[in-house]
Amino acid sequence: MDAFQAASDELLLLGTRLRDEIALAVMYDRYGALVYTLALRIVQDRGLAESVMHDVFLRCWRGEVRYVPSYGSASAWLFGMTRALALDTARERQSGAGSPVAGGEQSHPEWESSLPERGEAVVLRAMVGEALTVLSQSEREAVELAYYGGMTQQQIADRLGQPPSAIGTRIRDGMRLLCQALAPVVATTVVNGSGAS
Amino acid sequence: MIGRWLVRPWGRDDTASDDGPLDNGLLDSSQTTELPWERHLSAANGYATYRRPWEYATHETDDADPYAESPASPTWVTQVDGAAWTEEVFLDDLTPDEHPYPFQNVVGSDRLSADPSIHDELPAHVLGAIDEADAVHFDAHLAICEECQAALQAFRHVVQLLPYGLRPEHPSLGARERLLELAREQTGRARTDAEPASAEAEAASTVPEQANEVPVLAETLPHVTSEDPTPVVADTVEPPSETLPSAAMVTEPEPELSGGAPLSADLTVSGHAPELGDAPEQSPTAVVGAPEAAPAPRDLPRVTAELLPAGSAHAELARVSAIEPNVSTTVVAVYVTPNAQGERAEERKPGKLALARRAESLTPAEMIAVGLAPLPTAPDRPGHAGGSRKPNVAALVWGSTLVFVVFAGLMTLLWGTAGPSISPSVALFSRLPGGQVLTMRGTGVPSASATLYVVGNSRQAEMSVNDLPPLPEGRVYQLWFVDSAQTIRTGGSFYVNQQGDTVARLTVPVPVNQLRSIAVTQEPAPNSRVPTGDHLIAWTP
């Protein structure tokens, strides 16, 4: 198990695809909470978020999806899949019945962390959290509606009652600010990504 | 016969068939055949071009020529979202004379490249926030715009990092167990149709639904027992010795496996390999080296070996001869996967298995890591060609379900050979705030140095070592930490390459702020309990 803990994400993904339960479990320990957090932010419902999360990992398990290094890091790939599945789920539900449940619920009280968060995740969390504070409220809102809401600029403009050009500007400025703030991480990630190919 | 020309938007293959063609060209849309066009966006001439496979063209010549009526005006007008621009259209790499149709020189203008504000769309595009039709436009622009291409990766990575900005949420307590149950259920379903498995076997093993990764029973050979100290760093894992297969098939080590020769590892893979017969493509293969999905560590080749069945149940894997001997330590994972037509697990005949009694307890895909022993001396050093060092090929077969062993800690040592003496994650950590960088200076060896990168508040660290002298045979470097109570703790042992460099990942045994000194010594055996050598490199606050 310790060896698994030290294994790279890519290797764990491979192990998962090859139906190695321990690889799956370690993968979950590493990214389950992050995947869940992302899914919850998008679908705004704990039950649905959990099923999205399960879906993400089970797709890896069944080998339906394969990680391609050219996409970027394995975690980025996981997040991309999570976002896509969660957006699908959210749209499905919206077209069906019910309205979005308000977010911001507390964590499950019975949850307790059994694993310390990995050093990289801690660092990235701090970096991204700080980078987001650089954005103005409206810039952040536009970026988040695009990413977590899966909305186009036009849809965001309609929703906020703003001209599309203004939304475009906010997204552009916001993304550029993020890019600057995250430059050290992003540059390194690029190095890692290209090293894989 | 010519039909409706379907132009697939570049990079969006799936949408074209659903949404219908974006380009009907000048052709009569009442005609029916849809022929796929591959869109090539050429940065060279600044125009988008469409190509299509040659065979379509040849088919067309047999029938009505759509251009027969107007050979002089073969302009294609592409309609995308109401904006028209003409396209250069030509068939693959043919000279004008060879063209069946004279429409090769039609060059239009790409309105996209003329729109200066298109660059601004990039961030929204990366976020997926522009309309589908605009996305098609932007893809075309992206293919010819070096400026946007350069920025694309950075924006993409920013987007990929966004989830880290969310307030952490946690799934319910049982989510993990449910996931594992679901995984078991999904793999078990395939088997229960064919073979009612005992509950025990069900719990212990999983069977793939598809046949492309079917288990081949595999065992490695414990040439060296697991008591041998596995070389390396602090997080090295040693296999529990009681789980070593007692019935492992053993082959003799290759006679040339002495120092200086390429490292080899012999594997005996036992299992009901599909008969070769007239279907050689069905033979299973084993891949030795970095797994395909992982970034290959530097200089670690990947060897694919076909398992040659002896009988139907026994095969020997090729030597891992391509691994450079001067890689101080390496670990390879061996993945044994039959090819696409491999057998389903329920078709295995236990009687044929050399290790039949283990058959039910193995995971579908065997993954066995083989630790290759360090060669503590440079291979080209004179005087050891006839050495008798034994390769430390430890068989690591873990328990009933675990056959997947990875030594990431060992993996990090692979950077020592030639290239940068700093691994990507070191590069990451060193740029981030909060981490600590402890520079150790040569004391016993003035030219040597080492740098310890500690991640944030954690104790995870990577150490980059430079210019230590090559180790004499049988010696090893060891890292020591001394805390404020003067307790000495080891940080693990390591070897260096010919240049005296290495990179290792380790866990600092005490909080960094309690460290009083760090030192590197040369020791007679890996993971010595107390330092005996001089301080070669040292750090003090």
Select the residue of B170, B363, B432 nearest A127 (Cβ to Cβ): B432
If we measure between CA atoms, which residue out of A10, A5, A2 comes closest to residue A192? A10
Mean pLDDT of the region B130-152? 74
- pLDDT at position A6 is 65
Model confidence band, residue A82 (pLDDT cutoffs 50, 70, 90): very high
SS3 for A14? helix
pLDDT at A172 over 70: yes
Q: List pLDDT tens digits, range B323-364.
A: 333 222 222 333 333 332 333 332 322 222 222 212 222 222
Residue in B169, B361, B423 to test binding to A, most A beta-carbons within 10 Å: B169
**Residues B157-183, mean pLDDT to the nearest whole number:** 86
Min distance B457 CA to chain A CA atoms (Å): 8
Contact A7 B408 (CB under 8 A): yes
Tell me if B365 and A63 make a contact (CB, 8 A cut-off): no
Per the CB < 8 A criterion, the answer to whether A23 and A12 are in contact is yes
- pLDDT-derived band at B458 (thresholds 50, 70, 90) equals low
Contact A32 B179 (CB under 8 A): yes
Neighbours of A77 (CB within 10 A): 21
Which pLDDT score is estimated for B480?
87
Q: With contacts defined as CB-CB under 8 Å, which chain A residues touch B120?
A: 168, 172
In terms of C-beta density within 10 A (0-12 exposed, 13-18 middle, 19 or more buried), how is residue B103 classed? buried
Q: Is A2 on the interface with B (CB under 8 A)?
A: yes
Cβ A82 vs Cβ A56: under 8 Å? yes
Length of chain A: 197
* pLDDT of amino acid A35: 93
B408 touches A: beta carbon within 8 Å: yes
Q: A161: number of CA atoms within 13 Å, CB side?
A: 0
Please name the member of A2, A54, A171 whose beta carbon is closest to the beta carbon of B129: A171
Are B335 and A18 in contact (CB < 8 Å)?
yes
Instruction: Give yes or no for residue A90 having a pLDDT over 80.
Output: yes
Of A15, A19, A150, the CB nearest to B128: A150
Q: Is some CB atom of chain A closer than 8 A to the CB atom of B237?
A: yes
CA distances, A42 to each of A65, B290, B307 (Å): 21, 36, 47
Residue A88 C-alpha, separation from nearest chain B C-alpha, in angstroms: 14
φ and ψ of A189, to 5 deg: -60, -35
Closest residue of chain B to A2, computed from CA coordinates: B237
| Residue B537, both tokens | 């490199």
Å between B514 CA and nearest CA of chain A: 19
Question: Residue A168: pLDDT above 80?
Answer: yes
Question: Which of the pair, B360 or B268, is modelled with greater confidence?
Answer: B268
Selected residue with higher pLDDT from B174 and B414: B174
- Of the two residues B374 and A158, the one the predictor is more confident about is A158
**Residue type for B363, please?**
T
Answer yes or no: is pLDDT of B502 > 90: no
Which residues in chain B are contacts of A123 at CB distance < 8 A?
A: 428-429, 432, 434-435, 455-456
Query: Which of B486, B494, B502 lies closest to B451, judged by CA?
Result: B502
Residues of chain B in contact with residue A188, where contact means CB-CB under 8 angstroms, are 424, 427-428, 431
Give the highest mean pLDDT range of A156-165, B188-197, B290-299: A156-165
Set of chain A residues whose Cβ sits within 8 Å of the Cβ of B165: 125, 128-129, 131-132
Distance from CA of B491 to the nearest CA of A (A): 16
ipTM given for this complex: 0.85
- Across the interface, whether the CB atoms of B206 and A21 are under 8 A apart is answered yes
Q: Mean pLDDT: which of A167-181, B151-165, B260-274, B513-527 is highest?
A: A167-181
Two tokens, residue B235? 């997080």
Q: Which of B158, B185, B214 to mutate to test the interface with A (most CBs of A within 10 A)?
A: B158
At B200-237, the pLDDT tens digits run 333 333 333 333 332 222 222 222 222 333 222 222 22
Does residue B294 or residue B131 have the better pLDDT? B131
Residues in a beta bridge with B306: B285
* Closest chain B residue to A109, measured at CA: B172
- Please give the share of chain B, as a percent, with pLDDT higher than 90: 1
Nearest to B283 by CA among B268, B304, B303: B304
CB-nearest partner of B158 from A36, A66, A186: A186
- Compute the distance between CA of residue A136 and CA of residue A173 in angstroms, rounded to an integer: 10
Nearest to B387 by CA among B467, B474, B506: B474
**Chain A stretch 153-172, residues whose beta carbon is closer than 8 A to a beta carbon of chain B:** 153-154, 156, 168, 171-172
Distance from CA of A170 to the nearest CA of B (A): 10
Question: What distance in Å separates residue B497's CA from the closest CA in chain A?
Answer: 22
pLDDT at residue A174 in the model? 93
| pLDDT score of B188 | 62
Give the pair of three-digit tokens for residue A48: 């649905």
Query: Which pair of tokens denotes residue B102?
Result: 């004279």
Q: Which residues of A touch B402 (CB under 8 A)?
A: 1, 20, 22
What residues of chain A, 9 to 68, have a C-beta less than 8 Å from chain B? Answer: 10-11, 13-15, 17-25, 28-29, 32-34, 36-38, 40-41, 46, 49-50, 53-54, 57-58, 61-63, 66-67
Q: Average per-residue pLDDT in chain B?
A: 48
Using the predicted structure, report yes or no on whether residue B476 has a pLDDT greater than 70: yes
Nearest CA in chain B to A26: B176
Q: Decide if B189 touches A, using CB distance below 8 A.
A: no
Is A135 an interface residue toward B (CB < 8 Å)? no
Lowest mean pLDDT among A59-63, A73-77, B218-222, B297-301: B218-222
Instruction: Name every chain B residue with its beta carbon within 8 A of the beta carbon of A159.
Output: none
Angle between helices B146-161 and A74-95 (to 10 degrees): 80
Inter-residue contact A6 to B232 (CB < 8 Å):
no
Using an 8 Å CB-CB cutoff, list chain B residues near A14: 291-294, 335
B171-175, B417-421, B468-472, range with the lowest pLDDT: B417-421
Distance CA B437, CA A173 (A): 34
Contact A69, B293 (CB under 8 A): yes
Highest mean pLDDT out of B1-15, B153-167, B241-255: B153-167
- Beta carbons of B407 and A23 less than 8 Å apart: no
Give the pLDDT score at A118.
60
The answer on pLDDT for B267 being more than 50 is: no
Cβ distance B213 to A113 less than 8 Å, yes or no, reads no
Nearest to B450 by CA among B534, B513, B539: B539
- Residue A43 in tokens: 């679908």
Q: Does A124 touch chain B (CB under 8 A)?
A: yes
